[in-house]
Amino acid sequence: MASSSPLLSHPPVRTATLQWLLLTLVLIAAPHASRVPIWITALFVSIASWRWLAANRNWSLPNGWIRTASALIGISAVYANYGTVFGREPGVSLLLVMVALKLMELRTQRDEWILLLLGYFLLLTTFLFQQGIGAGVYMLTMAVLLTTLLATVSDIRRPDLGTRHWRMAGLMMLQGLPLMLALFVLFPRIDHPLWGMSDEGTGARTGLSDSMSPGAFTNLTLSDEVAFRVDFDGDVPQLSKLYWRGPVFWRYDGREWRRGGPRGPRRLDFSNLDHAVEYTVTLEPHDRLWLFALDIPGEVPDNAYFTTDYRIETDRQVKDRRIYQMRSWLDYRIDVTPRPDDIELALALPDGAHPKARQLAASWRQTYGNDHLGIVNAALKRFRELPYRYTLSPPLLRRDPVDEFLFDSQAGFCEHYASSFVVLMRAAGVPARVVTGYQGGIWNKLGGYFMVRQADAHAWSEVWLPDAGWIRVDPTAAVAPQRVERGIGAAIRDEQSALAAMAQADEVGGWRYQLALALDAVHTNWGRWVVGYNAKRQRSLLQAWGMDDVSPTDLAQGMIVIVTGLLLAFSALMFLRRPPNTLSPTQKPWQRFTQRLANAGMVRAPHEGPIDFGHRAAQRFPESAQRISEIVTDYAQLRYGREAEDQQRLLRFRRAVRRFRPR
């Protein structure tokens, strides 16, 4: 029967393309190694290695029973590991297992096509976990390699991957680029980015915590990691006014500060004395509930609320990059009439702690009485006039951190000054609390935004004054004013530390620093316009193009028109570039052969392949059956097989056709 002819089956796998295919699939699966159980990674690599050895040593492949049993075991193992086969991690794990098991039956060209298509799908799942520009470049590289392999597998005349196939893959991707851009820009968007489930950067986060003790900020200040980025809508405020409010600490045990203040959301109780500053914050994930805003925020983003101490918290931990718009007032009064519970909590000190500090505070209290502002100025004067130093490497404070800092070492970081100042204020009867967050930032002129790093982490104080409410007092500024005026780098540039070297690079604008800013600008714009391209950004882009009143329906219709136009233009281009309708050296003799059979009453049907036609002709002309079989076999090999360039077979085929007369 015709169906049993080997010429009608798919060509077998070629060793050269098999090796490239296995390598490509392993590279595509590699980013998932840290996300799936280790046994899945081991299974994938083991089967890929075994299949490579089987191809080189002519090992036989498993039969259908073994493959079926392996598939059932693989599905059961994934289910046992996750309790389901649905969801991101279980789904990717199951896909990896199925791709690995498919390698066990990789025999023909058809199997290669299927694995290549699975490779595209597996590659797409990377975006469910990683959405950075690095992941995008890696995925584009793998997509080019997959497309090149697809061109190679489909080219039966040139079995080895070569320049022609790379060129073909590049041309195909370039031809698809306009269509891809049109779909990306115009496809109706939901309110949130499609890839909203990133696990990028999971693990231990660098950032502010729920507590503060001496030395708590040192590791943060040695980190150049970005905490968030800020785009100001108008004029950028002075650096000394950029206090980004974070956790507020009320409770103190003699060494460590903790939040523990009045809980729950509150309504705003402040009066603004200056114009509002509007800006957009792009916050990096930090696995906490709080959002950062300039003192003092006048509104809250969606799914967030004000706490009693004017922090902004969210309903869920910030595990993905979050973009929110804010409005703040830099000159303000808050809580002129405070709650009694707040004042009581803001005066609490542990019994017996810090006797020297208490004695100093008592002397101020005796001198200034109820003049709270006078007490505040006395403390700041002490910091300015005595030889206090701002340093990242203060002496270790063992027994009493406040007394030892105030009267012995007189050297510390921002948390030393903020903590000691609040203790002095409370001991003198002035309500006070510690506020942490970030101060300042770096202006990225390439991207047009402020970049606030972990190195900008800062702690300051707030005191409550009658008729003024809570006001910010930064004792660090009394010791190192350059810290708030020019940033952390200016305050520690004389220190022998890695951060001091980084600070010097910041000031001189070295090439490494400029390169870091350029890379950050690229990374930020990728996040905004690719990963974060949502409905709002789409509307903004269309408005910039003069399309103000475009509905999702209009977008869909416009997309259909553009896609249709691109397809028609591509089809017209292909039609104009089509080769002339000339017969190949193989087709000319074949046409002569079929014409002679037609003249003898044996007409080939339009749908009939050469093998089927040859079988029918051999039955019709039994005396010529042997010659017909030889001619058909040669034609099939020359036209569809691997011997297309076999000149001896071509000469034999031509000679046989020339001598053929049906009988």
Q: Is 531 exposed, middle or buried (0-12, 13-18, 19+ CB in 10 A)?
A: buried
CA torsion 130→135→139→142, rounded to 10°? -120
Residue 15 makes CB contacts below 8 A (sequence gap 6+) with: 55, 56
- Give the C-alpha distances (Å, rounded to integers) separating 397 from 74, 249, 394, 405: 58, 21, 9, 7
CA 573 vs. chain centroid, Å, equals: 38
What is d(CA 435, CA 458) in angstroms, rounded to the nearest whole number? 9
Contact 313, 247 (CB under 8 A): no
Query: Using H for helix, E for strand and C for coil, what is the string for 226-295?
Result: EEEEEEECCCCCCHHHCEEEEEEECEECCCCEECCCCCCECCCCEEECCCEEEEEEEECCCCCCEECEEC
Residue 296: asked if its preceding bond is cis (omega within 30°), the reply is yes
Among 281, 321, 317, residue whose Cα is nearest residue 301: 281
How far apart, in Å, do the first and last CA atoms of the chain sit?
Answer: 23
Helix, strand, coil shares of the chain, percent, nearest 5, are 55, 15, 35
Residue 68 makes CB contacts below 8 A (sequence gap 6+) with: none
Q: Is 371 exposed, middle or buried (0-12, 13-18, 19+ CB in 10 A)?
A: middle
Our answer to whether residue 458 is catalytic in this structure is yes
Helix or strand (DSSP H, E) at 416: helix 414-427
Among 302, 301, 328, 283, residue whose Cα is nearest residue 532: 283
What is d(CA 486, CA 481) in angstroms, rounded to the nearest whole number? 8
Q: Which of 165, 414, 506, 634 is catalytic?
A: 414
Q: Which of 309, 400, 456, 474 is catalytic?
A: 474
Our answer to whether residue 192 is catalytic in this structure is no
Q: What is the DSSP secondary structure assignment for residue 12, as one 8-state letter?
A: B
Output Rg (C-alpha) for the chain, integer angstroms.
37
Give the number of other CB atoms < 10 A from CB of residue 168: 18
What is d(CA 109, CA 103) in angstroms, rounded to the nearest whole number? 13
Strands 411-412 and 389-390: parallel
Our answer to whether residue 408 is catalytic in this structure is no
Among 314, 473, 308, 492, residue whose Cα is nearest residue 390: 492
Q: Which of 458, 506, 615, 634 is catalytic?
A: 458
Catalytic machinery residues: 414, 458, 474
